[in-house]
């Protein structure tokens, strides 16, 4: 519910703050005091259009902010969670600015949102009904939701919705498979060729680098052999080579170290050099003995390298990339090969789900028919209390079918649900949007909301002058039903009738005064004698007239006792 609203620089409002309670809140005041301006501010806060004309003259921007309690409202908490917004102590602050340029900002908590997102969020918890705004009542999808909620089979509708989404998903998958049927053959041929080409080449990681190195060695075989031979001879080719001379030096140094032990360290180093050089000579000898020029091997290498280069150009920049491409292509080939089998399975699953959805749609149709008859009777009974006894309220449920007579299902069944009404005898019921009287529309909504209040997710309702043009017993009936509605939901009503105002839990008076050649709107909560005076003004137009004061006091005393359950 909405707990607080603050308005600054909005049309004639300089700055004001209002606090609302749970239960029944009323706003009263003289005609032209600015009550509708406050309704406009609420509308902007709930996602209504906001333009530069809403900014008070002389200001650059208007600001409307509201604090909402969402702790016990699961749809709101789910929406906030989906948008990454965390309430603080179960509450969120909505703040909207409107600038003279027409631009503005909207924040829920500290998160910027779009106007459509604000409208979506606010619509989960609050409904605004004025002489010209009955959007939820005009919305046919909302009619369906009201009926389903009243009938108590929303869980069945959600199950149907889940099945419908699943069917849509399966149908989309089948469509994509069938779209790929022709292209699939060509794609499979390309994938199969790639797999076979790579497998036939028997590519090995690092193979090209090794082959290129081997080819370079064989291409310069003679020079390589000559160099190795020279190195081997120099190291150990005759008695004057490095190794024999080092061997002799090693022996002499050993004898020296035995005489002078301080030379043992240097002797050890000569020993290490000798054995290291001896190992090098051994490896060079083996390398030279194995060094053979093989023209056939060189030819094989020259043939192999172009094959590898071609594969790398086509499938990757390395042997590993080529092998990875082969694995990926093989997986895709397996998947495409199984598409026929998948298509058959999908078709069978779709057919079975279509049958289940058709059966469920027929069952929902029966449930809606039964619920519609009960809801119609109860709405007409309330409308009779609201001086609309001649009204005929009808709930039209039409099953959509195709040219062959088969049900055409949507996300929530095959039914089109519409609320129709006729307020005059002999006139066929028409869609609510065609009913001319805003007051009648408000009473229709009041009747519906009174009946479904216990199961309705929208927990805050704003009625702007629902009582326009009514009085007497009709006013008493409207007041009674609004009081009952306030026992289930937060109700905020802008009213001219004392009969309604005396039943409120929270009474706010809106006033307009002239300040420095400009008009300014203010608002304040009234209790005690101030409230009695306001009720007297509403009754007789005089706040101080004794009879009016006594009448106001008596009404307040009576209806506050009724509210508290002390009277019948």
CATH number of 1-125+457-525: 3.40.50.300
pLDDT at residue 125 in the model: 85
* Neighbour-count burial of 209, counting CB atoms closer than 10 A to its CB (0-12 exposed, 13-18 middle, 19+ buried): exposed
Longest CA–CA span in the chain (Å) reads 145
Distance from C-alpha of 67 to C-alpha of 82, rounded to nearest angstrom: 20
Q: Where are the beta strands (DSSP E) in 406-500?
A: 415-422, 430-431, 460-464, 490-494
How far is C-alpha 116 from the geometric centre of its chain's CA atoms? 13
pLDDT at residue 439 in the model: 65
Tokens linked to 99: 């600038």
71-119 pLDDT tens trace = 888 889 999 999 999 999 999 999 999 999 888 999 999 999 999 999 8
User: Are the beta carbons of 510 and 516 closer than 8 angstroms?
Assistant: no
DSSP secondary structure letters along 288-302: HHH----HHHHHHHH
DSSP lists the bridge partners of residue 462 as: 128, 492
28-51 pLDDT tens trace = 988 878 888 888 898 899 888 888
Of residues 152 and 294, which shows the higher confidence score?
152
pLDDT for residue 438 is more than 80: no
Distance from C-alpha of 235 to C-alpha of 278, rounded to nearest angstrom: 9
Using alpha carbons, list the distances in angstroms from residue 172 to 165, 187, 197, 347, 506.
Answer: 11, 21, 35, 11, 55
pLDDT for residue 421 is more than 70: yes
76 half-sphere exposure, CB direction, 13 A CA radius: 27
Tokens linked to 508: 């706010």
pLDDT at residue 568 in the model: 41
Of 217, 219, 220, 225, the C-alpha closest to 288 is 225
Of 46, 23, 137, the C-alpha closest to 96 is 46
- The one-character DSSP state at 261 is G
Of 144, 122, 13, the C-alpha closest to 73 is 122
pLDDT for residue 514 is more than 80: no
User: Are the beta carbons of 491 and 25 closer than 8 angstroms?
Assistant: yes
Helix (H), strand (E), coil (C) string for 73-108: CHHHHHHHHHCCCCCECCEEEEEEEEECCCCEEEEE
Tokens linked to 465: 């002058």
- The one-character DSSP state at 413 is B
Of 12, 8, 31, 22, the C-alpha closest to 465 is 31
With cut-offs at 50, 70 and 90, classify the pLDDT of residue 275: very high
Tokens linked to 542: 């005089």
Helix (H), strand (E), coil (C) string for 352-377: HHHHHHHHHHHHHHHHHHHHHHHHHH
Rounded to a whole number of angstroms, the CA Rg of the chain reads 45
Q: Give whichever of 381-385, 436-440, 502-506 has the largest mean pLDDT.
A: 502-506
Every domain of the chain and the residues it spans: 1-125+457-525, 207-317, 526-568
Of 568, 496, 478, 505, the C-alpha closest to 537 is 496
What count of residues does the chain have? 568
The least confident of 8-12, 129-133, 156-160, 427-431 is 129-133
pLDDT at residue 296 in the model: 83
DSSP lists the bridge partners of residue 419 as: 395
């Amino acid at each position: 519910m909405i707990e607080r609203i603050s308005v600054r620089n909005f049309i004639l409002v300089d700055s004001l703050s209002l606090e609302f309670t749970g239960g029944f809140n009323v706003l009263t005041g003289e005609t032209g005091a600015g009550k509708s301006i406050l309704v406009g501010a609420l509308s902007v806060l709930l996602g209504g259009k906001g333009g530069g004309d809403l900014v008070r003259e002389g200001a650059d921007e208007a600001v409307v902010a509201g604090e909402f309690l969402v702790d016990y409202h699961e749809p709101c908490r789910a929406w906030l969670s989906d948008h990454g917004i965390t309430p603080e102590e179960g509450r969120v602050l909505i703040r909207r600015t409107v600038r003279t340029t027409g631009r503005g900002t909207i924040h829920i908590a500290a998160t910027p949102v779009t106007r459509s997102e604000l409208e979506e969020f606010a619509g989960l918890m609050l409904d605004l009904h004025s002489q010209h705004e009955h959007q939820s009542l005009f919305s046919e999808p909302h009619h369906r939701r009201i009926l389903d909620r009243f009938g108590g089979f929303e869980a069945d509708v959600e199950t149907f919705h889940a099945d419908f989404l699943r069917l849509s998903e399966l149908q989309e998958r089948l469509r994509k498979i069938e779209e790929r049927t022709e292209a699939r053959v060509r794609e499979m041929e390309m994938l199969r060729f790639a797999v076979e080409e790579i497998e036939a080449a028997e590519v090995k990681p690092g193979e090209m680098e090794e082959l290129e190195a081997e080819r370079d060695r064989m291409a310069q075989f003679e020079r390589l052999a000559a160099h190795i031979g020279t190195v081997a001879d120099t190291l150990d080719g005759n008695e004057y080579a490095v190794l024999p001379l080092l061997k002799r030096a090693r022996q002499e140094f050993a004898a020296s170290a035995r005489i002078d032990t301080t030379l043992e360290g240097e002797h050890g180093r000569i020993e290490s050099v000798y054995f290291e050089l001896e190992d090098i000579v051994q490896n060079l000898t083996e390398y030279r003995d194995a060094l053979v020029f093989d023209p056939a091997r060189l030819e094989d290498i020259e043939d192999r390298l172009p094959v590898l280069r071609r594969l790398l150009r086509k499938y990757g920049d390395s042997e590993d990339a080529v092998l990875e491409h082969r694995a990926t292509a093989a997986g895709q080939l397996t998947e495409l090969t199984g598409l026929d089998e998948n298509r058959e399975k999908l078709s069978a699953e779709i057919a079975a789900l279509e049958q289940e959805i058709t059966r469920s749609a027929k069952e929902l149709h029966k449930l809606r028919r039964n619920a519609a008859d009960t809801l119609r009777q109860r709405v007409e009974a309330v409308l009779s209390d609201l001086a609309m006894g001649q009204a005929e309220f009808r709930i039209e449920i039409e099953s959509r079918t195709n040219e062959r007579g088969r049900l055409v299902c949507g996300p929530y069944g095959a039914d089109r649900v519409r609320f129709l009404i006729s307020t005059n005898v002999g006139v066929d019921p028409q869609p609510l949007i065609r009913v001319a009287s805003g007051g009648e529309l408000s009473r229709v909504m009041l009747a519906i909301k009174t009946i479904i209040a216990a199961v309705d997710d929208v927990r805050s309702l704003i009625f702007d002058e629902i009582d326009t043009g009514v009085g007497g017993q009709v006013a008493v009936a409207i007041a009674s039903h609004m009081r009952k509605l306030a026992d289930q939901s937060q109700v905020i009503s802008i009213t001219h009738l004392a009969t309604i105002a005396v039943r409120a839990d929270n009474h706010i008076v809106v006033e307009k005064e002239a300040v420095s050649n400009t008009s300014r709107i203010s608002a304040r909560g009234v209790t005690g004698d101030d409230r009695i005076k306001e009720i007297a003004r509403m009754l007789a137009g005089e706040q101080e007239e004794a009879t009016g004061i006594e009448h106001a006091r008596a009404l307040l005393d009576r209806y506050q006792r009724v509210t508290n359950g002390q009277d019948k």
